[in-house]
Amino acid sequence: MRILQANRLVLAVGLIAVITGCNQPDFPKYTDLGSLRLLTIIADKPEANPGDTVIFTPVLSDLNGQGRTIQYSVQGCIDPGVGNGVNPGCPNPDVSSMQSGTVALLPGNNNTYTGPVASFSLTMPDDTRMFANRSAADQYNGVAYLVFYSISIPDGPAVNSFLRVIVSTSSKTQKNQNPVITSVDLNDVPITGEFPMPGSTAPFRVIDPTSSAETYQILTRDGSFTTHNEELITTWFVTDGLFDSSRTIGNSENSWKPPASKPVNRGIAILVVTRDGRGGSAYQKIEMN
């Protein structure tokens, strides 16, 4: 399964994922958590210097209920031109980036697994390789390094994804940072720990500090700068029930309709992923019982 994203986010730094529009007919297919899913990958440096080591943390969901071991593989390369229409791929992956292994997904208290798995790290190419034949604007704004991550289980298809890390010149001191999720609120009250399932439609909201939406500059070909502001977009994933919207902007409210009855022998998990459109992302999970 390839994870694709809306055009605006495809051109930015970040996990490429299918992002459906709000209230679209296929929304439940995307945001409902069921079989093995890769929800996001958090890079500790969404914008890095040449030669930096970047740590990546995949966030998965699996409602298998019994716990199981999955296989993963990693490879990376300098973007061969995906932003210009080239099919995603690494024709000549960096040998040092190629990794593989297994991670165990434990069923947890609610017979589900939703959360982070083992991190992996990659070292970005040095400036000689990264910026070969690149303009000063390209070096300042950054060149994309593609990271492909694939997971699979013996009895099912592989789940394939890729994300971009922007590598910009070391002289650029203001690098993009991941947004921060302060809390997920229910009825404007921060949720702490597991909580009882609401009996009727309930309003949820993701709270991000104002500083999470960064102001940044782009260097143009003529040497001038243009100023832009990030817009934080949150995607809502849930094991049961239905949200009004697949995505919300900023701290917008999102109403959740509970299922007709509680799931048997497990709770309900909600996971939110907030992205800044430039590769920065954050997640938080809440659980109902």
Task: Identify the architecture of domain 7-288 in CATH.
Answer: Sandwich (2.60)
The C-alpha atoms of residue 159 and residue 41 are separated, in whole angstroms, by: 13
Interatomic CA distance for residues 176 and 179, integer angstroms:
9
Written as one string, the DSSP assignment of the chain is -B----HHHHTSSSB----PPTT-TTHHHHHB--SSEEEEEEES-SEE-TT-EEEEEEEEEE--SS-EEEEEEEEEEE--SGGGTPPS--SS--GGG-EEEEEEE--TTTT-EEEE---EEEEPPPHHHHTTT--HHHHHH-EEEEEEEEEE-TTS--EEEEEEEEE--TT-----------EEEETTEE--S-BPPPSS-EEEEEE--GGGS-EEEEE-TTS-EEEEE---EEEEEESSSEES-SEEETT-EEEEEPPSSPPTTS-EEEEEEEE-SSS-EEEEEEEE-
Nearest to 166 by CA among 153, 175, 156: 175
- Digit-by-digit pLDDT tens for the chain (289 residues) are 333 333 333 333 334 333 333 333 344 467 888 778 899 999 999 999 999 999 999 999 888 767 788 999 999 999 999 878 888 899 999 999 999 999 988 876 566 788 899 999 999 999 999 999 999 999 999 999 999 999 998 777 899 999 999 999 999 999 999 999 999 999 999 999 999 999 999 999 999 999 999 999 999 999 999 999 999 999 999 999 999 999 999 999 999 999 999 888 788 999 999 999 999 999 999 999 8
Q: Where are the domains of the chain?
A: 7-288
Per-residue tokens: 55: 């740590």
Q: Are strands 53-62 and 120-123 parallel, antiparallel or unpaired?
A: antiparallel
Measured CA to CA, the distance from residue 257 to residue 232 in angstroms comes to 24
Is the Cβ–Cβ distance between 77 and 90 less than 8 Å?
yes
User: From CA 104, how far away is CA 11, in angstroms rounded?
Assistant: 33
